[in-house]
Amino acid sequence: MKRGQDAVKAARAPQALELRIAGGTYRQIGQQLGVSEKCAYEDVQHELAKLDAVKVQLRERLRELELERCDRLTVALGRKAQAGDERAILALVRVMERRAKLLGLDHAQAVEHSGDVTFQWLDRDEK
């Protein structure tokens, strides 16, 4: 695509998305913007992809901010926890759990097993 066409698309694509949000079909959007139905579809998809990328960036920035808060709380609680303050220890554990959750450290992991598996059923009396 040439530079002039890029500029035209850059101006048109946000309009296409607004028209789609308002309920327009791709055919209607294309007619209103003077492009094909396919081009209207591609413009809308292009704008949606840009929005998705922004959401990812915002989500990562928020995660960074939350991790920074966890760091500050860890420092603030650390001395008391090391001195044996039970409330500080519990609070510090909660901060650590939050950090692990933000970083995805607690996700279930797939376990592979090869070989035979034997089950032994217990009678109610044996439990």
The single residue listed with the structure tokens 């759990």 is 97
Which pair of structure tokens corresponds to residue 109?
Answer: 């992991």
pLDDT band at 109; cut points 50, 70, 90? low
How far apart are alpha carbons 104 and 25 in whole angstroms? 40
pLDDT band at 1; cut points 50, 70, 90? low
pLDDT band at 34; cut points 50, 70, 90? very high
Q: If DSSP codes are grouped into helix, strand and coil, which group holds residue 122?
A: coil
Q: Rounded to whole angstroms, what are the CA distances from 56 to 46, 61, 74, 90?
A: 16, 9, 27, 32
Give the predicted TM-score (pTM) of the model. Answer: 0.57
Q: For 68-91, write each residue's pLDDT tens digit.
A: 999 999 999 999 999 999 999 999
Q: Report the chain's mean pLDDT, rounded to a whole number.
A: 88
